[in-house]
Each structure stands twice: as C-alpha cells, then as structure tokens.
C-alpha cells in the first residue's frame, strides 16, 4: 500500500523560499512538482492550503495531476485540516510541515513527520534541478556524531536507535 503524504502547502512554499512572488503561480508550480514526485515515488499526496480568511463557506477539494488539493473553508485554518487528516490516517501517513503544533499532533497519532525545508530539498533532488548537490547518506566526518565521554559504552559511531528508526522511515521518500 502506498504511503499517504500530507503537505502543508504554504509552509512548504515558505520553506523553499517561493512565497515572495505571485502566490497563484507558486501554488501551481508546487502542485506540478508534487505531481512529478507522486509519479516517481507512487505516494498518495494531499496538499492543504489556507482558505480561512477569504475562502469558500465549505472545504474545497480538487485533483490536479493526481495530487489532491484541499483549500480549508472560511474560518478554518489549514493546520486544523492537516491535524484532522493525520488523526484519520495515523501511522499510514507522513506529514510535511515545520509548524510545531502540526508536527506534535501528527506524531501523537503515529504519523511520520518531516520538516518543510528537508522535504523541499528532497523534492528538488528528485526532480533533478540543476545546482543541487547530492544528498550524502553516510558522512565520514566526525562532526556528525556527538562525542561521548569515557563513561558511555557501546559503539560511538552508531547513531541512537531513534535516529536509525527515523532514517529507515525517511528512506521511503
């Protein structure tokens, strides 16, 4: 079963530095990039945008190139919609947002979370944009691991268990 990816649209645009230009074209570009990502990775993708100030009276849903786009209804923030979806899908979803409230709520329901900047980097890498450096999975440098004191036992080069588990889940992207 493919993973369901829930994306905080404006948060991802802000993390990628795309909010400075025309908002409509930035949204369309994001949806196109997510559609291409969906085609490569075969994840079900839902992107949620705020409509709480000037949106419709009901939640608007549309499909663009295989990506489900949700605009929250007037008076409801995208954060609330994302939290509701994370509660609904639980461990079968991953949430992309840098908003601490969303991240904490998603984790409480067992969802995997990824920061907007981290996912924007993966989105750029997978699209093959020019000028991006390849992500280095393993680093030979000593600066990536904290120094342990003499009282610690075990392999000092081995990452903590929680970090290894997160890295395993992250490889699905």
Residue pair 12/120 in contact (Cβ under 8 Å)? The answer is yes
φ, ψ of residue 51 to 5 degrees: the values are -140, 20
pTM: 0.73
Domains of the chain (ranges, CATH numbers)? 4-134 (3.40.50)
Instruction: Report pLDDT for 172.
Output: 76
Rounded Cα gap, residues 129 and 126, in angstroms = 8
Mean pLDDT taken over the chain: 80
Span of 21-30, 49-58, 98-107 with lowest mean pLDDT: 49-58
pLDDT per residue as tens digits for the range 92-145: 899 999 999 999 999 999 999 999 888 888 888 766 554 434 444 434 444 455
Residue with tokens 């997510």: 34
């Amino acid at each position: 079963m493919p993973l369901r990816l829930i994306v905080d649209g404006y948060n991802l645009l802000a993390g990628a530095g795309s909010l400075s230009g025309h908002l409509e074209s930035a949204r369309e570009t994001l949806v196109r990039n997510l559609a291409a990502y969906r085609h490569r990775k075969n994840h079900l993708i839902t992107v949620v945008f705020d409509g709480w100030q000037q949106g419709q009276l009901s939640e608007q849903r549309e499909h663009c190139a295989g990506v489900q786009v949700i605009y929250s209804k007037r008076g409801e923030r995208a954060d609330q919609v994302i939290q509701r979806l994370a509660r609904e899908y639980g461990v079968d979803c991953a949430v992309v947002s840098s908003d601490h409230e969303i991240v904490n709520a998603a984790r409480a329901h067992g969802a995997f979370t990824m920061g907007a900047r981290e996912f924007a980097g993966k989105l750029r890498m997978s699209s093959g944009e020019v000028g991006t450096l390849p992500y280095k999975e393993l680093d030979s440098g000593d600066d990536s691991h904290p120094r342990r004191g003499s009282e610690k036992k075990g392999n000092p080069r081995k990452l903590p268990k929680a970090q290894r588990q997160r890295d395993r889940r992250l490889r699905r992207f």
